[in-house]
Chain A
Amino acid sequence: MPSVVVLAVVALYPVLAAVWLSLHRFILVFGERRFTGLANYAYLLGDARFGSALGNTVYFTAVAVAVELLLAVPLAVLLNRAFPGRGLLRASVLVPWAIPTVVSARLWAWMFNPDSGLINRLLGGAEINWLGAPGYALHAAILVDVWKTTPFVALLVLAGLQGIPEDLYKAARVDGASPWRQFRSITLPLLKPALLLAVLFRSLDAFRVFDAIYVLTEGGPANTTETLSIYAYKTLMRSGDFGYGSTLAVATFLGVVLLAAVWLKWLGREEARE
């Protein structure tokens, strides 16, 4: 029972408080605070800026997580092989993940500088306006996220790989299965729970993305990199509009809950099948 009380205090109270605030017009600087029911939610539905923030968030999450998964699986297979210096490599791939996001985002912002940044120089003096052009900026942010969290996903996948019994591969080799066939018929199916778990962790994380993008672009240009978290933060903390800011926070929360429910259901089905 005490655990329920603790959970209620640390998890339930802030959520309920945000929901309650979202039912008010509550602007800090005006000392204005009145109950308006679902008016904030009605405005939310017609708010073009909310629509674009939701779109950016979903796009960021889908693309970043997909790319991370595609890169992490080969990386994990590689790390699972026995070769000299494996321990060192396993440790060093985690470096990007260990650097605080704000620091690495600042680093990347310099590298993305169109005039003197490393990236354009590596591209042979290209003049790509990474952080200033709509269309590029969000992809630049995705690149930073991929760079940072692929190692983490790879580690989760590696844990899954190590749970696959070596006997299966031996039997497959006896039957004359090619390495690709072994990967498709043994590795991938048995890795599925680990992959789903990685997708669950990463997509919940990516859906709430804030720090990397805030440091890179503050949501610009033209809000093309503004995610739900950034919109909520700006409304709450910069403008002091607590009512609508809370509405945005609740909407983000609902998005995360929905995402979690979908993945958990899928994960549960996978496990039931085994």
Chain B
Amino acid sequence: MGRLLVVLVALGLAAGGCRRSSEAPGTGGRTRIVFKFQPLWGDPKPFRELLARYEQANPDVELVTEALPNASDLAHQFFLTSLQGGATDFDVLVADVVWVPEFARAGWVADLTEDFPPARLREEFLPGPVDAVVMDGRTYAVPWFVDVGVLYYRTDLVPRAPRTYEELRRFTRDAMAKTPGLQGYVWQGRQYEGLTCNVYEALWGHGGQSLGPDGRVLLETEPAREALAYLHGLIADGLSPPTVTGFGEEEARRVFQEGRAVFMRNWPYAWREAQAEGSLIRGKVGIAPLPTKDGQPGWGTLGGWQLAVNAHVSPLRRKAAARLIAHLTSPEANRVLALHYARNPPRLALYDDPVLRAEEPFIASLKDALVRARPRPVTPYYLLIADVLQSEFSAAVAGLRTPEESLARAQKQVDHLTGEQPEEAR
């Protein structure tokens, strides 16, 4: 059956558009390392210069970049099949926040603890991203840029940003009563990962935690029930349009940007579009932490990408790869990514950087939200259970099942997948 895997791996590589090569020596005795990542949107020049500076500083290394498909799902499939097959044709890879524990447990990404000790990461980086890359006191990746869920509101329709769920509901109801045809609160309710982020934000806002004390993925809890009931209630009470069950980020943004909604939950990228020349809501948009049940600032879901090293490559290449990661996550690189690609830096110090504060005040203003950003359950099982969470959360939000039923079904499937109930193991 090994042959079937080889075929799958070959297919994966073909889909990625690259050829499998064994340790190809670089030209002129230099070590050749390959950096595999999704192209950043925008002018490629500043990033190319950043990479060139690494080569200048490391004359013994020849750096090659290879593009990944620009969809998280497809990139994950590529890494799943090629790393499982022991591929050595790339050295540095980008990983979504939820992949790192999975890849680390599988032994596919190298232990970077020596080059990036957790204590130093905790000092220099935002807490959420560090939690996502450190497992059992060992470092498996370094945060590259970060993202967080935030609340957008219309400054001309509501007095201020709501702090509690009750305020959010009241403000929405008042604004809708004054303006006929206006929609209330738009968010991401389609069956996909964005929905899971929204549900976890509501769960934390109701005082819940992602994992139980023993590290188990706990779903049958009171905060989880309240979170699903709250999200479904928004739709049932007409405060969110019924169509949010088909919304992703862009669908929500379109409605909000056309001035047809009071509130929106989204990632910071929507800010630029909302404030762009010709936007219908330019100058009428505020951004705030998500509300919570008791009024303290909410916890947004952590998103973003990390850099890791392929565990299958030789020690020599591994060293060069670690140096590349150090370069790409340096304060200088953080600044390049923020100024030219609007990617939020994971390094705390950057938020006090005068250049960044002057040129990209919006990015700098996200610090408070980012400090409170939380990762989805940090567990090697995450991608195994993500599908279950999406479908059961979707059923509860769409009102097909009660929160209790959905959570009980989800818990049963999750426990089965994670092997929590060995008597049921298949």
Contacts and interface: CB of A to CB of B under 8 A. Distances in A.
A218 B247 CA distance: 13
A239 B191 contact: no
Interface in A1-60: 14, 17, 20-21, 25, 27-31, 36, 39-40, 42-43, 48-49
B276 interface: no
Given A21-B4, A220-B190, A43 B102 contact: no
B413 A39 contact: no
B357 interface: no
25 contacts: A14-B4, A17-B4, A25-B425, A29-B380, A30-B105, A40-B426, A48-B409, A114-B243, A115-B255, A127-B243, A129-B242, A129-B246, A131-B246, A132-B189, A132-B245, A218-B191, A220-B191, A220-B394, A221-B397, A222-B401, A223-B394, A238-B76, A238-B386, A240-B383, A241-B384
A244 interface: yes
Interface in B261-303: none
A28 B82 CA distance: 11
A226 B76 contact: no
Contacts, number: 130
B191 A217 contact: yes
Interface of B: 1, 4, 73, 76-77, 80, 84, 102-103, 105-107, 189-192, 242-247, 251, 254-255, 380, 383-384, 386-387, 390-392, 394-395, 397-398, 400-401, 409, 413, 416-417, 424-426
A234 interface: yes
A44 B290 CA distance: 40
B4 A238 contact: no
Contacts of B80: 28-29, 237, 240
A224 interface: yes
Contacts of A226: 391
Nearest to A41: B426
A219 interface: yes
Nearest to A131: B246
A120 to B, nearest CB: 10
A21 B380 CA distance: 22
B1 A21 contact: yes
Contact of B391 (A27, A30, A220): A220
Q: Is the interface of B mostly helix, strand, loop or mixed?
A: helix
A237 B76 CA distance: 9
Contact of B247 (A31, A132, A239): A132
Contacts of B105: 29-30
Given A25-B426, A132-B242, 10 more contacts: A43-B416, A49-B413, A113-B251, A218-B191, A220-B391, A221-B397, A239-B417, A240-B383, A241-B417, A244-B426
A240 B189 CA distance: 25
A132 B192 CA distance: 12
Contact of A239 (B4, B192, B383): B383
Contact of A129 (B77, B102, B107, B243): B243
A221 B383 contact: no
Contacts of B247: 132
A243 interface: yes
Contacts of B246: 114, 129-133, 221
A129 B235 CA distance: 13
Nearest to B413: A49
B244 A132 contact: yes
A48 B409 CA distance: 9
Contacts of B191: 217-223
Contacts of A113: 251
B216 to A, nearest CB: 17
Interface residues of A, number: 46
A38 to B, nearest CB: 9
Contact of B245 (A17, A221, A234): A221
Contact of B384 (A48, A114, A219, A239): A239
A49 B242 CA distance: 24
Nearest to B183: A115
**Residue of B245, B392, B397, B413 with most chain A CB atoms under a 10 A cut-off:** B245
Given A29-B106, A30-B106, A132-B190, A39 B398 contact: no
Interface in A106-136: 113-116, 127, 129-134
A248 to B, nearest CB: 12
B398 A36 contact: no
Contacts of A221: 189-191, 245-246, 394-395, 397-398, 400
Interface in A199-231: 217-224, 226
Contacts of B76: 238
Given A29-B80, A29-B384, A238-B383, A220 B242 contact: no
A115 B254 contact: yes
A18 B107 CA distance: 26
A27 B384 contact: yes
A68 B80 CA distance: 40
Contacts of A28: 80, 84, 106
Nearest first, the 7 A-B pairs at minimum CB distance are: A220-B191, A132-B246, A222-B395, A132-B245, A39-B426, A114-B243, A222-B394
Contacts of A14: 4
B394 to A, nearest CB: 4
Contacts of A31: 84, 106-107
A133 B242 contact: yes
B245 A133 contact: yes
A255 B275 CA distance: 53
A43 B417 CA distance: 11
B46 to A, nearest CB: 33
A114 B243 CA distance: 7
A169 to B, nearest CB: 50
Given A48-B409, A238-B73, A222 B398 contact: yes
A29 B383 contact: yes
Contacts of A241: 384, 417
Contact of B387 (A17, A130, A224, A239): A239
A112 to B, nearest CB: 8
A192 to B, nearest CB: 41
Contacts of A244: 426
**Residue of B76, B189, B246, B384 with most chain A CB atoms under a 10 A cut-off:** B246
A29 to B, nearest CB: 4
